Chain A
């Protein structure tokens, strides 16, 4: 195999789970999908296993339509809740609430920005992100800059113009 899958597995498995988790928001499902991706890699033996795995994983996550619908309903409920969580100090917010806030913030990114950000956070290089997203390599920095800013702004409850939107 051109790229030792065992090595890729050791180095990438957790990142792939994390990447998937931020798409399906179900830890168990994310692990399932990650393992499914590696199982497929065992069969297909892709040349560039790491990039291939993320492509496959992203596609599988995309196929989670039914699950996504359920998640959207859940999100709707969350959005309609009072803003008590938002105003609480960060260290007092439990992990679940933080996750939900990040999730909501990520949802406010464009799909392309979100994908680039999640791929970067999963350890992909600019070249790999470019290959995966179809963006020019030179645009990755700009894309990530925008994605990061929007993520932080959304999390902090700021609109793009710097105004708090939830207060």
Chain B
């Protein structure tokens, strides 16, 4: 550093001050000092011009180092809500197996029937968002991240995907069980191979809001949530099945739902995988109820997450669950 502008008009202005001046980062007083000096000092006037050219040139060069034009599908930055939807999911290049597992899982089962997790009858109006794929495989529900719909798997999963093909009998059992589950929940289902589809008509707005203590009583432990996210409501299932719902806000318009219950109460014979609406539909109606879902065990709880996010975004949140006292 040569001289400071503050030192007076007899001292030359140093490069840093000139750049700060040209960058508009000086206080009014400092600016005035430099301008006063430059008005009287031809050398600094020249240097000011030189530094201005230098800044412009550096900026121009950095402009050469722009990312190449994005391909058509990336031409515009995705809206934030879309960022949380599909494109983020696919473009977060997590380990591919993990990403494929999560994205293709398209959510995990929640339990109908015994769980009292009700699916309202289809009324035909606004039918869109979600598809319920019932898979009644009786194996215990693992964290669910390997669950996937067969069609999705066939479409995008590499052959080496870990999910084993279902036995024909198991498929039939799944159909029967899923149909039973859907009938129980009064949902309309269609059967296609081992996929049993129905509308997701879940409406938790009817679930009573409860306090933290009742939630703790129902669960036998503290409910869990994503640390740092505000809890909007805590609810319980109206079916008396000890399912607690914690709703948390990512932002005022984006709410994730954490359905949780004691793991030992799980009815493993029936579960429902709720497959999200197509991305286009989600983009058009980001708050649609057809949301992706994933589940995992957290301590003694089995927790399912749902929300208008991509599966791997939800999965990320799911991984962070901690008891919320």
Which residues of A are at the interface with B, using a C-beta cutoff of 8 A? 1, 5-6, 9-10, 13-14, 17-18, 21-22, 27-32, 35-36, 38-39, 42-45, 95-96, 98-99, 101-103, 105-106, 117-118, 120-121, 125-126, 138-149, 151-152, 155
Contacts and interface: CB of A to CB of B under 8 A. Distances in A.
A95 B64 contact: yes
B229 interface: yes
Among A10, A35, A44, A118: residue with most chain B CB under 10 A = A35
18 contacts: A1-B251, A14-B77, A21-B65, A35-B91, A36-B88, A39-B88, A42-B313, A43-B226, A99-B65, A125-B25, A126-B25, A141-B20, A142-B15, A145-B19, A145-B54, A146-B15, A148-B54, A151-B61
Contacts of A9: 77, 80, 83
A43 B58 contact: no
Contact of A145 (B18, B65, B251): B18
Contact of A99 (B58, B64, B84): B64
Contacts, number: 136
B84 A39 contact: yes
B64 to A, nearest CB: 4
A60 to B, nearest CB: 11
Tell me if A's interface is mostly helix, strand, loop or mixed. Answer: helix
B316 interface: yes
B211 interface: no
Interface size bracket, B side:
35 or more
A45 B64 CA distance: 33
Given A1-B251, A42-B84, A43-B250, A141 B16 contact: yes
Interface string B19-47: 11001010000000000000000000000
A39 B92 contact: yes
Contacts of B61: 102, 105, 151-152, 155
B301 interface: no
Contact of A106 (B65, B91, B228, B317): B65
Nearest to A106: B65
Top 10 nearest A-B pairs (CB, nearest first) are: A142-B16, A141-B20, A141-B16, A27-B67, A148-B58, A145-B15, A98-B64, A102-B65, A145-B19, A21-B67
A27 B14 contact: no
B55 interface: yes
B25 A141 contact: yes
Contacts of A145: 15-16, 18-19, 51, 54
Given A17-B67, A35-B92, A43-B320, A140 B20 contact: yes
Contact of A121 (B59, B67, B320): B59
Interface in B235-294: 250-251, 254
B68 interface: yes
B3 to A, nearest CB: 12
Nearest to A142: B16
Given A39-B313, A140-B25, A149-B54, A117 B62 contact: yes
Contacts of A126: 20, 23, 25
A121 B62 contact: yes
Given A5-B80, A9-B80, A102-B61, 18 more contacts: A5-B251, A9-B83, A14-B77, A17-B77, A27-B68, A31-B91, A32-B91, A35-B88, A39-B83, A39-B88, A42-B250, A43-B229, A45-B229, A141-B17, A141-B18, A145-B16, A146-B15, A152-B58
A18 B23 contact: no
B251 A102 contact: no
A69 to B, nearest CB: 17
Nearest to A30: B67
Among A10, A14, A117, A142: residue with most chain B CB under 10 A = A142
A96 B17 CA distance: 34
